Amino acid sequence: MNNLINDMFNISMDDTGKFETVNNDGFVSVTIRLKRKMLYCPHCGTKMVSNGISTKKINHKVLSDRNMLIVYEANRYRCRKCNHSEYEKNPFALKGFSQSILMMNQLMIDLHDPCFNYTMLSEKYNMSINEVILYLDSFVTIPHIPLPCNLGIDEIHSSMAKRRNVSYLGVLTDNDSFSLVEILPSRNKTDLNNYLSFVPRKEREAVRYVTIDMWLPYKEMAQKWLPNCIIAVDPFHVIEHLTKDFDRIRIRIMNHCIYGSNAYYLLKTWHKLLYSDRCRLDGEPRYDHVFRCRLNYGDIKKMLLEISDELRIAYDLKEAYRDFNSRCNYETAEKELNDLIYTFAKVRIKEYEEFLQIMVNWKKEIINSFIRSQATGNRLSNAKSEAMNNDIGSNIRISRGLSNFTRFRKRMLYCHNDRLFYSLTGKLTSLKRNLKKKDDDKEKKK
């Protein structure tokens, strides 16, 4: 029993003079009074005497299925000599707070999980949304996070991007430790330049690898500020461009087929077989209502590729690059990529012209993507950045409207970097935006 009370209330039964509980329809009220202790006046050193009690109500939501309130009867002491008076030390809450220390501690742990939005935490801990936000603003401090050896630069779509006609926030990650380094108010060259210009030179020179998608400002800023880095293009983005170009070929050929024909049906209904490797081609045949016979996926795929020679050639080229991407290594990548560039240029398929330019313009960066990190042994890619972006995007969606970028940045860094901690203090600060100033700026522009 003593251990349970110690865990739930941060006190010992030996120090407790009064402990009463009342359970009323799922609401638990706990009345606690501590035993009086011998205290001495901090001013004159005289022994202090009892001077009554004062009742304080403290929210203490430590049980998941019910609310709990601590009715704390705090002992008050007075010095007979200098008449100084003070309360005993409150073991349940910080001075001036109506939330218990244990509850705020659990709240800060839950704020570390991006699956929780502020409304969820407000309902869970029986406090207002503004209180939840205020504690995040006050107890989490974000220091400068050093640039990692293996830096990933990516972006995420958000309405919080600050500049006009900009829809993406810049996201910097550590590809080796899978942690978030920084979120920038936009992905454009100006904000990247401003951020990297304040990073110490020694720290910038320690960056060995930078993985990016094919957004040119990323490459330019990396070349300018990270002199010792090797720039690599994320393989996923290259494959994504290739797949989109192949899909345009499929749609063009399908639109030239007679509506309702077998070829149109195959290209419209079974095109997934041209993209996915997860379909078992030699599986059990199933009855197809159009062809009125039993076919397995292998039969249908063969019929697809027989529709058009151009489709078959385009498919073979797509698979040749995917095979190169999955099988090749850094030592042989340049030769094999040159062969692929020659082959793509030779077939002269209009939709592949974009991908051909990507292979030519980003040739060095594509080859660099086959380098493996010394820390993890994995290929250079933004795979972990993309996974983290999904978590960040999920938080934006479940939050249903975020507008304060400074607070959003703090929360996401706190959630996705295990080197950041919180500290419960009696000082509260808010990152609330000055909306009045913002409205004044709008009026001036008008």
Chain segment 340-366, per-residue pLDDT in tens? 999 999 999 999 999 999 999 999 999
Q: What is the reported pLDDT for 444? A: 47
Mean pLDDT of 197-221: 94
pTM confidence score:
0.84
Rg of the Cα atoms in the chain = 32
Mean pLDDT of 204-226: 94
DSSP string, 284-300: --EEETTTTEEE-HHHH
Closest CA relative to residue 372, chosen from 147, 175, 173: 175
pLDDT at residue 4 greater than cutoff 70: no
Residue ranges matching CATH 3.30.420.10 in the chain: 150-234+376-415
Mean pLDDT of 183-207: 93
Q: What is the reported pLDDT for 3? A: 66
pLDDT tens track for 76-129: 999 988 889 888 888 888 888 889 989 999 999 999 999 899 999 999 998 899
Mean pLDDT of 394-412: 88
Q: Are 202 and 337 in contact (CB under 8 A)?
A: no
Q: Are 48 and 39 in contact (CB under 8 A)?
A: yes
pLDDT at residue 201 greater than cutoff 80: yes
Higher pLDDT, 386 or 184: 184
pLDDT at residue 319 greater than cutoff 50: yes
CATH topology of domain 150-234+376-415: Nucleotidyltransferase; domain 5 (3.30.420)
pLDDT at residue 60 greater than cutoff 90: no
Q: Are 243 and 275 in contact (CB under 8 A)?
A: yes
pLDDT at residue 249 greater than cutoff 90: yes
Residue with tokens 């993209």: 275
- Report the percentage of the chain scoring pLDDT > 70: 94
What does each C-alpha distance from 390 to 90, 206, 395, 396 come to in angstroms? 43, 28, 9, 10
CA dihedral (245, 247, 253, 254) in degrees, to 10, reads -160
Higher pLDDT, 358 or 279: 358
Q: What is the reported pLDDT for 442? A: 47
Q: Are 216 and 281 in contact (CB under 8 A)?
A: no
Q: What is the reported pLDDT for 45? A: 86
Residue 3: both structure tokens together: 């251990």
What's the CA gap between 229 and 243, in Å, rounded?
29
Lowest mean pLDDT among 31-45, 185-199, 221-235, 321-335: 31-45
Q: 312-344 in b/e burial notation, b at 16+ Cβ within 10 A?
A: ebbbebbeebeebbeebeeeebeebbeebeeeb
Q: What are the two backbone dihedrals, phi and then psi, of residue 154, each rounded to the nearest 5 degrees?
A: -145, -170
Q: What is the reported pLDDT for 164? A: 59
What's the CA gap between 192 and 220, in Å, rounded?
10
What's the CA gap between 335 and 360, in Å, rounded?
13
pLDDT at residue 326 greater than cutoff 50: yes
Q: What is the reported pLDDT for 76? A: 92
Mean residue pLDDT of the chain comes to 89
Residue 441: both structure tokens together: 């700026």
pLDDT at residue 216 greater than cutoff 80: yes
What does each C-alpha distance from 385 to 44, 57, 153, 178, 210 come to in angstroms? 61, 45, 8, 8, 12
Q: What is the reported pLDDT for 38? A: 86
Q: What is the reported pLDDT for 1? A: 54
Q: What is the reported pLDDT for 64? A: 74
Q: What are the two backbone dihedrals, phi and then psi, of residue 128, each rounded to the nearest 5 degrees?
A: -75, 160
